[in-house]
Structure 1
């Protein structure tokens, strides 16, 4: 049995689905079900005895203590986090509450549970903390990619809160001996991605005939990682990672945002052409850049490959095609996650900041 926190969110839900597809080991899935947590993503597991879903907060110590005592997991995989930079700029307190205080309370509950385990189970137990490359700050065009040795230089409330959580996890290992592992990943994309993030937002807006909002000049560079590759990396780190170590997970796909948008447009031109025959890229609109927008992230994932033998299975070309095809085939899922709160957010964030059409 393993306990997954945040297992109804984008990456967490993909991990749960892949875990159950690839393992006979059951999952207890704890998720608060905020706006980005979606049980529809886990609909295929309904009635599956290997999946036990519990709605709740990692900061609820009494609940977490009860789940640990009742299910006695051999590992905890922590995805639970507020994770959207723009939202963190408008409301940083939620990010501190979940990512910092929530992680602290989760660590304390896990430490209490782990400390009382018999010696053999105690030795085998793992706490895997899923984090982000954004904790390392921003790179210039010529800087080498982030390695695990890069110092932390977070630039947004989101990345600062994740950096704090990483430091707590490290401290609980060095101070208390808790057997932890940390992964820092690059930008994920793929099925079930909430449509406030770049790739799903472009797909959804393009199909709806809306503007495709691109921040600034669109030349912000990110390393793109297909979510199922990320899940396989986490499984491998959980299986064989060295205690106390950090592993960077990347897709080896550095691309500027505008190239991503143009690629999505070209795939939609091929797979779902506009009725008027015009290219989707005509819908691209440049909007005012967000405050403190990091210029470039890039992950050096050679440690993970050298020590644990992991490499991504997807290229960007194969992964992005699968992603666009998934959204075209799952319009009902997209429609159902686009609540009134979601629409209000997108309008607030983008519609009033248009400055020039592409």
Structure 2
């Protein structure tokens, strides 16, 4: 009898997820259509620019980081340029698993994982927003805003962002419901996918601090484990890579070789603003404008959402800005997914309800086009 009940509960949970997946499917499909539109535009505009790294539209959904991941999945870390060890192994491990099960090239597995994970992330953000607001309308709108956020085209490409967002959002769902096993697993997995998963420790610590008087003993072990899970997730790979390649903090050093050494984020923004008025490149100007808009959205987030969301999003943006080279700023901001909740608050104003999604979708198509044309580094 007990076994039948468990099966019934599992079937109900599966049924609920399928129903939620169907509800977010329109936004999911529209986001893919926008990426396809961007690919057509990039073909039409091919040859307009002369990017130093060359155009990438011929690589399709494997452009930029996708080729790195495919090479690592197929050949391992030893057979790629040392620069490739900056890519954490979570996406790679899943890629190898799918590649065993699915016939065809590695690219099929990586693209499938990214798109399946993006669908799950949409289901997750809808659930999270509803948990926080009990407003079905806002929950549905958050799905659309995540789908068409300017840098969300990478949720269709063979990038690790979809996977990272899925684990991060479910980590916050676990925090909201005090389901510490979920928090432990998701923070560990997120940190294994991307080093920014370590930053989930900040909202976890804040949540534990907030609940210190309510749960002084109950769940103490699990909450403590949740604090360390991100360090374990990233630490496993960093330790392995450091020993294997005989270089301390090898993945971090590989990233520094591209982004430059640490820079105070506020100083970097001030320097960027000064460069805008003294002949900055168009991409530098774009990143500076993006940074200012992100600060504005953080203020909206701070005013209307629990502090744990602000802390995570702000820390992701600060890390993205803490380097001389701030390429991919918009994508790193997406990793701090609560910024979407700031956009949600902004679009809740009647006069901006349609303008914000429209502008966001246009920016998404534009960034995707420029990424394929090689003039924007996603």
TM-score of the aligned structures, taking structure 1 as reference length:
0.31
Q: Which has the higher contact order (CA 8 A, sep 6+)?
A: 2
The structure carrying a bigger helix percent of its residues is 2
TM-score of the aligned structures, taking structure 2 as reference length:
0.29
